[in-house]
Amino acid sequence: MQTARRIQALPPYLFAEIDKKIAKAKARGVDIISLGMGDPDRPTPSHIVESLQLSAKDPRTHRYPVYEGMLPFREAVAGWYRKTRGVELDAVSQIVALIGSKEGIAHISLCYVDPGDINLVPDPGYPAYSTGTMFAGGTSYKMPLLESNGFLPDLSAIPHDIARQAKLMFLNYPNNPTGAVAPREFFEDVIAFAREYDIIVCHDAAYSEVAFDGFRPLSFLEIEGAKDVGIEFHSLSKTYNMTGWRLGWAAGNRGVIEALARVKSNIDSGVFSAVQYAGIKALTGPQDSIAQMQTLYAQRRDVVVEGLQHLGWELEKPQATIYVWAPVPPGYSSTQFATLLLEEAGVVVTPGIGYGEYGEGYFRISLCVEQDRIEAAIRRLEEAGIRYSK
């Protein structure tokens, strides 16, 4: 039976061939060090786990949850924004709970995009921006994230006819995969651009709490006028090591939040109530785990960056995220270089092309591995004679 055209249009799984090579290497007994997956390796803080255990025993949590999220959870989100960013939100009308932010990102295009419509999508970027656009029948217009521009999109380079047709603009700062951060002036320009062309801004802030050296990333909603033109997605995944729990939210413009909640009420039945109670505990309970996490990732970041610098790479230490984004040596594509590292050093990295056309020429290293394994990976590169040379 023929699959739908939208399924046929899905890009091929770039890493399938690498996965086969990883399996073959493991079968030969090779000790693989995987620096590819952005999945925190430390456990969820115990007070959050204990909250889930307690709530899961309560039969009242076993029934269907409220579609838009329990009001106490949304109130906890509003309180978190007030405390951490000085942003005021109405818990009833400006926040909706999500089954992880990815779910909301994938569904937001269904609210506004008709077949043939255009979304502005960063490249390189999280694949859900473009696949969600495609599932809604829309077309992604790529906004290149170039190193020469600090991995920020150049709004002035977007043609007027494209901007006039665009429905949504996806942004993500701190950024996956580049690790870039956005200044206030950029967000102010985005708001002015969105007003001029009647575009809804969808800011993915999944890494807003993973920052180093005293740096504090901005929330898009902190900027004056942001709630008039857009929303912000956030997830508890990276902030509290809760990737498997699938809990997040969207917050901001009332009309956009209402539309997203309406779509969700027809697609899913909400987040398990016990998980939402655990989310409340995460947002309102002790926050010391965040500082501990930041220290841990900063140490790992330093090992990666200083190790690559020793091998010839010219890199600056990223101010945020759990990634290091580095150029591949001349003469290699990103996939070829990732294959070289696997075959010659038993080290797995993510080729930049997996995040879009403009990711070519780079590779991404995840910091979600113990420091001694990262140190071992750097030694393996040096022993294999893998260096960056112009």
pLDDT tens figures, 351-380 = 999 999 999 999 999 999 999 999 999 999
Rounded Cα distance, 307 and 208, in Å: 26
How deeply is 27 buried, as exposed, middle or buried, from its count of CB atoms within 10 A (0-12, 13-18, 19+)?
exposed
Residue range 86-134, pLDDT digits in tens: 999 999 999 999 999 999 999 999 999 999 999 999 999 999 999 999 9
Are residues 219 and 293 located together in one domain of the fold? no
Residue range 24-68, pLDDT digits in tens: 888 888 899 999 888 999 999 999 999 999 999 999 999 999 989
Q: Is the model's pLDDT at 187 over the cut of 90?
A: yes
Rounded Cα distance, 200 and 184, in Å: 18
Rounded Cα distance, 285 and 48, in Å: 8
Are 206 and 238 contacting, i.e. CB atoms less than 8 angstroms apart?
yes
Are residues 221 and 316 located together in one domain of the fold? no
Q: Integer distance in angstroms from the first to the last C-alpha of the chain?
A: 51
The string over 124-154, giving b where at least 16 C-beta atoms fall within 10 Å of a residue's C-beta and e elsewhere, is bbbbbbbbbbbbbebbbbbbbbeeeeebbbe
How deeply is 320 buried, as exposed, middle or buried, from its count of CB atoms within 10 A (0-12, 13-18, 19+)?
buried
Rounded Cα distance, 294 and 213, in Å: 9
Are residues 280 and 299 located together in one domain of the fold? no
Tracing tokens 């977007």 back to the chain, one arrives at: 158
At which of 262, 284, 306 does a domain end?
Answer: 284
Are residues 165 and 264 located together in one domain of the fold? yes
Strand (E) positions, the chain?
A: 33-34, 95-98, 118-123, 139-144, 166-172, 200-204, 230-235, 248-252, 323-327, 347-348, 350-351, 362-366
At which of 226, 259, 284 does a domain end?
Answer: 284
Are residues 58 and 19 located together in one domain of the fold? no
pLDDT of amino acid 27: 87
Question: What is the residue-averaged pLDDT of the chain?
Answer: 95
At which of 221, 254, 284 does a domain end?
Answer: 284
Other C-beta atoms closer than 10 Å to the C-beta of 188 total: 14
Rounded Cα distance, 9 and 79, in Å: 41
Are residues 26 and 165 located together in one domain of the fold? no
Are residues 193 and 263 located together in one domain of the fold? yes
Predicted structure pTM score: 0.96
Provide the residue count of the chain. 390
- Name the residue range of residue 33's domain: 5-43+289-383
Amino acid residing at 227: K
